[in-house]
Amino acid sequence: MADDLRITPRVARILTSEESVYGLILVSGMIVVSGTVAGTSLNALVTVTVTVLVFYLAHVYSGTLGRLAATDDSAGLRASLKAAARHSRGMLVASIVPLVILLLGTTDLIDDTVAIWSALIANTVLLGVLGWIVVARWSARWWPRLVSAVITAGFGLVLIALKAFIHH
């Protein structure tokens, strides 16, 4: 049973990628911005979904162009596109948790404000966890892990502070 709950190395690579960290920060920023317009979880859900998809596609497009340029097209368009899409998927995966939380707000299972703040807090916690895990892959010492977790979570905390400042 414990093996069924274990994250596969492939999923772990996706979750601990720079794109996952960037995706969580992007989602938090979009929640802050979307919440200032209408303040509903539906507005945040739509804004975040569209923005993440656009940034993912832009990342894939630029990654494809970069790979084509770096290989003088010897890799080929299809291979470059596939590699760029695979490299960028952490951005999509990282957005799942906050999007589910915002979706719960749109169904009135939780209040809009609670959904928006919960998504921001969840992102900050996830950033801290990712910061810890990534450093844990190369250091057995606790203090570099803690420093990384605090720095990574700090990005989310800055956005929470911005949300609190804008909201009040």
Cα separation, 152 vs 158, in Å, equals 11
- How open is the CA angle 110-96-144, to the nearest 5 degrees? 110
What is the percent of the chain with per-residue pLDDT over 90, rounded to a whole number? Answer: 48
CB distance 94 to 19 below 8 Å:
yes
Q: How far apart are the first and last CA of the chain?
A: 47
| pTM of the predicted protein model | 0.84
Domains in the chain: boundaries: 11-163
Least confident span in 33-42, 129-138, 158-167: 33-42
The set of residues, in sequence order, having a beta carbon less than 8 Å from that of 19 and lying 6+ positions away, is: 59, 87, 88, 89, 90, 91, 94
> Per-residue pLDDT tens for 88-125?
999 999 999 999 999 999 997 899 989 999 999 999 99
Least confident span in 8-17, 79-88, 132-141: 8-17
